Structure 1
Amino acid sequence: MTEFAVFAAIASLGMLVQSTVGFAGSLVAIPLFALFMSPREAVPAYCFTMLAVNLFLVCEGRRHVEWRSVRSLLIGGLPGVPIGAFALKHLPVHIIGAAISVITLIFGILFLSRVRVRFPVHPLTEPGIGLLSGMLGGSISESGPPVVVYALSREWPKDTFRSSLLAYFLCLAATAAVSYTSLGMVKSHLLLLSAAGLLPALAAGHLGVWLKDRINERNFRLAVLITVIAVGVIGLVKYLR
């Protein structure tokens, strides 16, 4: 029972962040999950919960999606997901856990420092970013950082930024769910975990939609990123000691 409650609480926190700012849900949730359970269980279970909540969020913000860029990112992102899922199944757990912590730390610090990366204007830029994002998403459920860095460089309006990322993440989550199932990684226990987190996560997602226009987004992102960095440090200590 404790495991189900912990999963539901962390999934809800991740979805609250995701629905409010459009990203960083997995950056918050996955390192926290890794402190309490194996990434091989946490990543697929969270994927199914995230799939349902992201569907709701995309329907809510569909008018603002930059579909051309989303489609181009998916050209690389969709084939990247099963590659990452294969790595999740076969790599040692301590390597996966350490990778989660390191990537969380790197991108948490990058976002906190507000570094802007300029990308070349080239037909392969978006598919290339999508491929990296898809592999990270399939392996450690952290597909966001590469596409967030790219979206920031495009200087999209806030609603376009949030809605486009959510639409992209929805497509990756659907592909990841199929990949994990095909690889035999989805057991009944994981589905029960995901189901336990579904209603609380949906409620948190709905709360995030309500909050997004009522809070100081800059301060909220700052608090999220400081939390992300702290959790990344704790996870790194756990998996490297």
Structure 2
Amino acid sequence: MSALIEAFLSAFGDMANHPALVPALFAVALAGSVRGFAGFGGAMLFMPFATFLFDPRLAVVAFFIIDTSITLPLVTNALRHWDWRTVIPCAIGSWVGVWFGAYLLATTDTLILRWTICLIIILLVGVMLTGWRYTARPKTPISLGVGSVAGVLGGISQVSAPPLVAYWAAGPFPAQVIRANLICFFFFATLGSLAAFFANGVFTAQTLALAVWLAPAYGLAIFIGARLFKGSNDTLFRRVAFAIILIAAVTSLPLLDPLMRA
């Protein structure tokens, strides 16, 4: 135990001098405000910056730690508005998909991971921009499939929201239910992600140190974002949701690395 504490303290001190820490704090604050408002999008905005500020494995797991621990208070209110008949199948699907995603995170080349993430996001943005909508209640097999895709993306990058937003925002649900569905989904999906990450050995002293540095900024920003949601409406919510995904798609492109690093 003492060895683990010493490793953490050493990593925590090293992180204080890391040149990427300050830009990461600004990025995680922006991500937190969006997460608090929309119920999703924190990872989508943070990870494109984080994956070239830090090793993707470090950034993904550190963000998982802070997002899981800090967003728990949002779940209490969301459970009053969620549609459990579609969220539960999506969560079950994600428990299966996240194992494959976590395996890819631990074994696949970083550049391949980044291209895969951004191309999937761009594809889903295209689907949503067509304005396609459906009015029927989501079917359980479809929910399972969407959740599986979200689980794979979550295991790779913590960016699991795009297929879920495309699925629920294109349906009959109002903004309050969509936001509640997303918050509750991430709560239940966390159980599968936690086991998959442990099994693949991606928790380290460095990930915990980075999480501790980022947590205060993320938590404060989530509180501010949640307050702002109370004054929004369905149209504004959907526009913000689509804008979040579009920004994430563009900033995820590895081709933009020279510009983003400048």
Category of TM-score, reference length = shorter chain: 0.7 to 0.9
Aligned to 1:135: 152
* Superposition deviation, residue 209 in structure 1: 0.7
Q: Is the 8 A contact 1:40 1:89 kept in 2?
A: yes
| Letter of the 1:232 counterpart | S
Superposition TM-score, scaled by structure 2 size: 0.81
Aligned to 1:61: 78
Deviates more, 1:214-223 or 1:84-93: 214-223
Cα distance change on mapping 1:94 and 1:4 into 2, 3 Å: same
1:228 equivalent to 2:245? Answer no
**CA–CA distance in 1 between the matches of 2:185 and 2:242?**
23
Q: Is the 8 A contact 1:19 1:206 kept in 2?
A: yes
| Letter of the 2:210 counterpart | L
**CA–CA distance in 2 between the matches of 1:197 and 1:7?**
8
Aligned residues: 238
Cα distance change on mapping 1:236 and 1:119 into 2, 3 Å: farther
* Superposition deviation, residue 230 in structure 1: 3.3
Structure 1: gaps (5+ residues):
none
2:225 is aligned, of 180, 184, 208, to 208
- Cα deviation digits, residues 98-157 of structure 1 (max 9, x gap): 222223333344445544368896441111111111111111212111111111233211
Please tell me the root mean square deviation across aligned C-alpha atoms, in Å.
Answer: 2.5
Superposition TM-score, scaled by structure 1 size: 0.87
Cα distance change on mapping 1:122 and 1:113 into 2, 3 Å: closer
Structure 2: gaps (5+ residues):
1-15
Q: Which structure 2 residues correspond to residues 80-95 of structure 1 after superposition, within 5 A?
A: 80-95=97-112
Q: Is the 8 A contact 1:61 1:163 kept in 2?
A: yes
1:144 equivalent to 2:164? Answer no
| Letter of the 1:3 counterpart | A
From the CA coordinates, give the structure whose radius of gyration is larger.
2
Identity of aligned residues (%): 23
Cα distance change on mapping 1:237 and 1:118 into 2, 3 Å: farther
**CA–CA distance in 2 between the matches of 1:238 and 1:182?**
32
1:238 equivalent to 2:254? Answer no
Q: Which structure 2 residues correspond to residues 21-60 of structure 1 after superposition, within 5 A?
A: 21-60=38-77
* Superposition deviation, residue 28 in structure 1: 1.3
Partner SS state of residue 20, structure 2: helix
- Cα deviation digits, residues 52-108 of structure 1 (max 9, x gap): 132122123321111221111122111211111011100111111222222333334
